[in-house]
Each structure stands twice: as structure tokens, then as C-alpha cells.
Amino acid sequence: MRKKFSLIIFTDLDGSLLHRETFKFDSIKDYIKNLVESGIIIIPNSSKTEKEIDKFNEELGIKLPYISENGSSIHGLNLINSNFPNKIILSREKEELLKVFESKVPENIINKCLLISKLDKKKQEKIFGQKDKKLKDVLDRKYTLPFLFTGEKKEKNRLLKILNANSLTLQEGGRVSNLCDNVDKVKSMNKVIRILKKTEDKIKTIAVGDNYNDLDMLKNSDVPCLVFNDQFKLDQINIANLVFSNQPSPEGWADVIKMALAKLNYNV
């Protein structure tokens, strides 16, 4: 029997679906598979690279469509419908972004931006919590430049103004900041929804995140879900209809999804 609406789950990965430190999700793998088998479309929407999310799909054992590098590119919509594109690129390549960055940002502020790609391997391992091949996949970025900002708040505010004036953005993650094109998780999510509406009459969305760069994605979904993060104080987050877990990922991910499905009266 056909459901009343098509359901899409847009989800962050690190700290939301994956364990914050180990990046494991074995305890909820079967639950994720059951959701997909029931007809729910799950789309990771992450700062992770294509190779990292491809590896996630391998571990899951299912090819999920996904959005990589903070909304820079969309992959695998043809898995939903063969008439949909396999890949959509929404960003300029990182080399072009770097040229704009270096030509428009004053040197005294550039010096406060430590590009992760220029740090030694041990520092990179410590920042990302990954080694060897997995670290290589983290650094294999096509559209974004991760860095650490060491300046003061007023310098960061100035940087943000300069980036905005030049169609660049700064996406704040749990571990690093990312220099991005004029893209984000919401824009890519809405792009996917517009494409899916070509064949689906009614769509409902669940969005799952755990960090500040996920909040706009949550606000633009039908059921916003926040996985426990001790950096957050819930009373400071102004999102209507918010569902939240009291335990971290990966179990917290399953908790919020079950609550969101109940809100939508969606039976799995």
C-alpha cells in the first residue's frame, strides 16, 4: 500500500549518525537498512568528501544518494529515479576559491587561517581523528578548504564580511572551519527536493544534525532532529517542533528518527 507521502531523511554524519570519536554505527546499521527497505529515502548531507561517504555506503551495504562537502555536490539521485542525474556540482573547485580568498582577504587575517593541508601529518591525524587511507580520504577535497582560525572574534567577523562580499562562505564544523563557495546544506537539500517533486506529489522531510552548521538544515525541514551534543544548550536553540535525543550518536540518531516518524504517523 502506497504511503500518503514520500519521506526523505537528510542527515549529517559525524556526531549525528556516526559516533563522534570512533565514527562507528554498527549498533544502528540494521535499523537504517529497515528504514530504506520500507521506502524511506535517506540522504547523507555532510561536510565529508565523496570518498568518505562512498566508504560509508560500503560499510552500510547500501548505495545511498548523498550530498558532500557542505552542499558542494549532489550524488546518486539516479538511484532514486533513473531519469535523475548521477551528479550535480554546485560549487567552484577549491583552487578557484583559494585564488579569490588570497586576493581579497588581507594578509594579517590570512595568517590567522591555518590550512589543514599545509600542516604536518601528525597534526592532521589529531584534528580529524583519522590515519593512513582514511586521513587521505578526508583530505581529498574538490570544493572546500578546511582550516583552523587562530584570530580574535573581531578578526573573524571581518573575515566573514569579506567572504560574503565575494560569494564565499565559512562553514563551521565540529573540528574545523571550511572555506566554501556560496553553497550550504540547505541549498543542496532544497535542490534535491525540487528534483524529487518532478515525480512525487507530496514530500515530507526529516533533517538530523548535531552541530551549528546543521541548524539551518533543521529549520528548513518538516521535522528537525538534534542528536545530543554537550556543546549545545537546548534553551538557546530556537527551532520550532524540534525533536532531540538525550544520548549521543549513533544510538541518538535512531532515537530521534523514531520520534520523528511518530510525529508524522509514519509506520515502518
Buried b (16+ CB within 10 A) or exposed e, 125-143: bebbebeeebbebbbebeb
**Rounded Cα distance, 244 and 260, in Å:** 9
Helical packing angle, 29-37 and 50-60, nearest 10°: 90
Report the chain (268 residues): mean pLDDT per 10 consecutive residues: 78 96 96 97 97 98 98 98 97 97 96 94 92 94 96 95 96 85 97 95 96 92 95 82 95 98 94
**The predicted structure's pLDDT at residue 173:** 72
Phi, psi of 87 (to 5 degrees): -150, 135
Residue 219 corresponds to which amino acid?
A: K
Residue 119 corresponds to which amino acid?
A: L
**The predicted structure's pLDDT at residue 2:** 44
- State the number of CA atoms in the 13 A half-sphere of 241 facing the CB: 15
Strands 145-149 and 113-115: antiparallel
Residue-range domains of the chain with CATH: 6-89+184-263 (3.40.50.1000), 94-181 (3.30.980.20)
**The predicted structure's pLDDT at residue 231:** 81
Cell of 163: 567572504
- State the number of CA atoms in the 13 A half-sphere of 56 facing the CB: 29
